[in-house]
A = this chain, B = another copy of it.
Amino acid sequence: MMENSLKKYADAQNCPVRNVLDRFGDKWSTLVLLLLEEVEVLRFNELHKAIETISQKMLAVTLKSLEADGLIIRKQYQEIPPRVEYMLSARGASLMPHIKSLVQWANTNFEAIEQSREAYNR
């Protein structure tokens, strides 16, 4: 009764849900995407300052994987000191409505969830 409906999630590699959601399952990707949607063009250090708690290393890793997935565009100028600008790609932009609907839900349910957490830890 259950086997048929659940099997499709078993294989992480070939499951689109897991394969793609694992990517937003990381700590920073959605945040970077939200910032880029809001400000449109940002340099590495601007992102770093904006998020504050992210390390440079993690920001670099996050940007690379977003670029690899074609969600953001990296534009490098041949200048010194270096200048690199990041912005959403069309694909990245098409993702944002879905993420923002999640964000909206998070905003409306934030307080109730906090209260549940507190109640649970007592």
Contact = CB atoms under 8 A, between A and B. Distances in A.
Interface of A: 2, 5-6, 9-10, 12, 16-22, 24-27, 30-31, 34-35, 38-39, 46, 49-53, 67-70, 91, 94-95, 98-99, 101-107, 109-110, 112-114, 116-117, 120-121
A31 B18 contact: yes
A101 B101 contact: yes
Oligomer: number of copies: 2
Contacts of A70: 112-113, 116
B16 A67 contact: no
A91 B68 contact: no
Contacts of A21: 30-31, 102-103, 106
